[in-house]
Each structure stands twice: as structure tokens, then as C-alpha cells.
Amino acid sequence: MGDRKIIMNKKIKTALISVSDKSNLKSLLNILKKNKIKVISSGGTYKEIKRLKFKCLEVSKFTNSPEILEGRVKTLHPKIHAGILSNRQKKSHIKDLNNNNFENIDLVIVNFYPFENTLKKTKNHVKIIENIDIGGPSMVRSAAKNYNDVTVITSTDQYEELIQELKKFKGSTSLNFREKLSRIAFSETAYYDSVISSYFNKKTNTIFPRKKIFHGNLMEQLRYGENPHQQSAIYSSSSNTNLTQVNGKQLSYNNYNDIFSALTISKSLPKDKGTVIVKHCNPCGVSAKKNHLQSYKNALSCDPTSAFGGIVSCNFKITKSLALELHKTFLEVIIGNGFDNAAIKILKTKKNLRLIDSTNYIQEEFLKFISFNRNILIQSDDLNFFSNKNFKIVSKKKPTPKQLKDLIFAFNICRFVKSNAIVLASDETTVGIGSGQPSRLDSCQIAINKMKKINIETDNIVAASDAFFPFVDGIEKLVQSGVKAVVQPSGSIRDKEIIKFANETDTVLLFSKTRHFRH
């Protein structure tokens, strides 16, 4: 039995076609006609096949049962599913079909009601519910289960491969082909159901259901992961990433990781403002200056050494003048909300430089996932915009409007820096960033050291910390370096000591109402 399965081709005598996407049917119907394959269909598909002038038997006549419930029930019939599910090698199955005057169905061509597209077009729950396909997935699952005898097609993309298969095997299909299509079919039904499940979870505001289902479309299999020995791919729960590559080499796992990190920061800045430079998912320079060219220069000056080989994300369209400046530094990726033709011409002279147009990229609130072995950690994202009401002034000295603006800017950037995080800023530009240290004191020192390297000429430096200072020594080190105002989350048992120190040194101190670790 096993040996026979491996070499077995299956002749197709009867096909059932029921598709929402009715494109490219003609080429398929031609090959079915050529091989004298009987075609059964229903509803709109039946009408389209007849319009194309091909012979077709309507499902209701095949089953001798009318379509009912406004089309909700048409293929959900024993004659359909028995014809698909019957094991052609089992005598009892053959007997059952003969006794009921049923016949085998050898080819099932189905694609589902466009549920996912319906979600994009309407919020009308009644319309959404009516676009949940029942009969289609049922037939596909039946055919996929019985792949030993039945061929199942779930996408117009598979039509050409089926045509070639029928030509090669003279109206038959090979076991390998049927098995491959079965694997794809079960992925299609699982994906379809997962989209529906996600919709109902969202509608009922169920963030963490008892069983969590994930769905995604393969965007690209990448060359490798973080290291060459690791396999990698990028998936999207949408039909695309909404990023357009304009130039350069194929993006790597690390590139994508940095790109999404950079875009997350960029989209947290005011519209049409802000330059972000990222290296290894950490910002090494950010500026929200209104002048785009000055914004980039300021961001670069924060840490030009780390920026080498990094990623620049501009929250605006990149023009010729900025392109000339960007061209001076070795960068892996440049992201912009579009590029002038002159800018593209300049930047394309570096053939490996990846240019990414993020015009259509929208930052949305989604859950974040981290996997460990068979376990997945899930949390909501940290993307809320800050305003004055998110902070409380706890020092005697009050911030000037400019200081307050810089403090909120610094704290916003701080939440995208790996903990423990310290950000020094002036004039809506980072001037020192300390990240990823087990000790908050060490992060303070790193940020100060980076600030000293650029010899900044200002007495209006502010500092942000992603969590509270557990001891006075951290804020003391910052104040000694010239920091005039500090923002940190509250919550330490020594908060009063921190406030006392700020008052004794005439330092502005703000407490954030929320903490913002990024491990």
C-alpha cells in the first residue's frame, strides 16, 4: 500500500469550483475541458463559468438540493463531502457511494470569502459576519485530508502549476503535488480562522484569550538571522510591511530590527519633524529641530562614532541638500517619508546603501511578542504620546517652557533606549545617551562621557531616566556634569531624598507618572 502511494498518480474526472476571486479562470477551464473533466459549481462562480462559455453543472442540480438561507448553505451536503472524502481504496467507501448514488470529486478549487479585505473596508458587524466562509473551508479541509485521492487548489497563484501538472501527467496529478497542496491548504484554513478569531478578540476587547492564535504572511526569507548560522524570515499580519525599498542590497534580519526600532522613535516625534540615528536597536542620536538639515546634523553630532554603519530615519521627505550631507557618512540604511528624485540620484551612487520609503508606514498599537523555547511573552506596546499632564513638578524650582519641552523630548527618547537608560538633551536634541547597563550609575557616566566628547556649549542640559534613581548618587553625578533639570519616574523609597537633593542644588525635578523600561 505504502509503495503504491509513492508512485501513484490520480486521474481527475470531476472538479468542483467555488471561488470568490474569479480571475484567471479561463486558462484553467481550458485545460479541464481538454482533459474532459466534469465541472461542478455554484452561485457567482457558476454564472462566471457559463459567461465564459464553458460547460458546468450547478451544485443544486448535482445534489438535487436547492441553495438555501440566502446562499449560506449550498455546498454543505453529503453528496459533496462524501465525494471528496471517500477513500478510493476502501470497498466500504465505494459501497456507500454506490448505495447513495454519489460520485467521487477528484479536484476541489476554492478560495474563501474575502474576510480580511472586508475588515479593511467596513466596521459593519453584520457585513463582516456574512463574509465568514463556512462551506469553502469545509471543502478545502475535506480535500486536504484526503490528498491521497483528491487535489485541492486554494489560490489563483496555483493555477499555472496545476495546468502544468495536468499536461505532464495527461489529466492526472502526482502524489507529491497533492501532498504539497494539502499542506498549503491546511495553512490557508488555519490562517483564515485565525483572522476571524483575532477579529472577535478585538471586538470583545479580549487581549489575552485562553488560546492565542497568530497569523502572518511570509514577506521574505532572509539570508540569515542575527548571525550567519541562524535561519530567518519576516512575516506580516498584513499583506505587506508598508515599506518600499528604493535602492540597495537585500535587507537582513538585523536591518529590519533596526528599521522598526528607528521608525518607532520617528513616529513618536511631531509630524514632519525629527531625525533618528539607530545602531543595534539603540538610538545614538535624535533631534526634533524644525530645519531638516540641521536636525540631521544635530542627531549625528550626538555620537558620530556610533552612527558609523548605522541607520538614519527621517520623519520627513529627504531632499537634495540633505542627501548630499547623508552621502558623507557610511550608513547601512536611510529611511524617509519619500525621496526627491535628486536625492535618490545622489544616494544611489552607493549601490549597496538601502533606501527605504516609509511614506505608507503607520505606527499602530499592537501586542509585542518575545519567544523562549515553547513559551511566548506578550505585552501591549509602549507608544502613548506624552504631554505636560503626564508629569509632576516636585522641586521648588520650576522648569522654563523650554526646559519642559526638552524634558518631555528626552523622556520620550529615553523609553526607546535599552535599560538602564539615561538621555541628556538640549534644544530638542540628544547630547548624550547611556544604555543597556546593569547599573544606572554606569549609564549616567556613559551619557556624560559622550556629552563631553562633543564639547557642547550650553548651560541648559536636561536629563531623563527610564526608571527612578534608587540612590542620590545617580542624580548627583548628572548635576555635577552640568545638568539643570531631571525627569524620572517616581516610586523609590528614597524619592524624598532625591527631591531634597534637587532643592539643595537648585535643580528642576519632574516625576513621571509612568515607568518606561525597555529590556
- In angstroms, the CA 288 to CA 267 distance is 11
| Active site (annotated) includes residue 327 | no
Residue for cell digits 517616581? 490
| Active site (annotated) includes residue 93 | no
Q: In this model, does residue 100 exceed pLDDT 60?
A: yes
Helix axes 25-34, 159-168, angle to 10 degrees: 20
Sign of CA dihedral 464, 465, 467, 468: negative
- pTM for this structure? 0.85
In a domain, residue 224? The reply is no
Domain carrying residue 140: 2-203
In a domain, residue 367? The reply is no
In a domain, residue 227? The reply is no
Catalytic-labelled residue, pool 13, 77, 280, 297: 280
Q: Look at residue 12 and give its three-state secondary structure.
A: coil
pLDDT > 70 fraction of the chain, expressed in percent and rounded: 99
Give every strand in the sheet of 429-434, ordered side by side.
244-247, 354-357, 331-336, 310-314, 275-279, 282-287, 429-434, 422-426, 461-465, 483-489, 508-512, 391-393
Cβ atoms of 49 and 30 closer than 8 Å? no
pLDDT (tens digit per residue) in 156-175: 999 999 999 999 999 999 99
Whether residues 144 and 254 fall in one domain: no
pLDDT (tens digit per residue) in 357-375: 999 998 887 888 888 888 8
Q: What pLDDT score was predicted for residue 5? A: 45
In a domain, residue 124? The reply is yes
- In angstroms, the CA 145 to CA 186 distance is 9
- In angstroms, the CA 156 to CA 88 distance is 28
In a domain, residue 232? The reply is no
Top-confidence residue, 428 or 8: 428
Whether residues 179 and 257 fall in one domain: no
Q: What pLDDT score was predicted for residue 299? A: 96
Whether residues 341 and 392 fall in one domain: no
Residues 6+ apart with CB under 8 A from 271: 315
In 3D, which of 333, 280, 327, 277 has the Cα closest to residue 307? 277
Whether residues 483 and 433 fall in one domain: yes
Catalytic-labelled residue, pool 13, 22, 47, 145: 145
Q: What pLDDT score was predicted for residue 368? A: 85
Cβ atoms of 97 and 83 closer than 8 Å? yes
Whether residues 353 and 393 fall in one domain: no
Q: What pLDDT score was predicted for residue 2? A: 45
Q: In this model, does residue 450 exceed pLDDT 50?
A: yes
Q: Within 10 Å of residue 492's Cβ, how many Cβ atoms?
A: 15
Q: In this model, does residue 106 exceed pLDDT 90?
A: yes
In a domain, residue 225? The reply is no
pLDDT (tens digit per residue) in 80-96: 998 999 988 888 998 98
Q: Is-cis flag, bond preceding 64, omega within 30?
A: no
pLDDT (tens digit per residue) in 272-298: 999 999 999 999 999 999 999 999 999
What is the CATH number for 392?
A: 3.40.140.20
Q: Look at residue 10 and give its three-state secondary structure.
A: strand
Measured CA to CA in angstroms, residue 192 lies from 116, 157, 199, 201, 478 at distances of: 8, 17, 11, 15, 54
In a domain, residue 208? The reply is no
Alpha-carbon Rg for the chain, nearest whole angstrom, is 31
Domain boundary among 203, 228, 263: 203
Q: What pLDDT score was predicted for residue 379? A: 85
Measured CA to CA in angstroms, residue 309 lies from 329, 333, 354, 423 at distances of: 8, 8, 12, 22
Q: In this model, does residue 388 exceed pLDDT 60?
A: yes
What is the CATH number for 176?
A: 3.40.50.1380
In a domain, residue 480? The reply is yes
Tell me how many domains the chain contains.
Answer: 3
Top-confidence residue, 45 or 66: 45
Residues 6+ apart with CB under 8 A from 507: 395, 397, 475, 479, 483, 484, 485, 486, 501
Phi and psi dihedrals of 428, rounded to 5?
55, 40
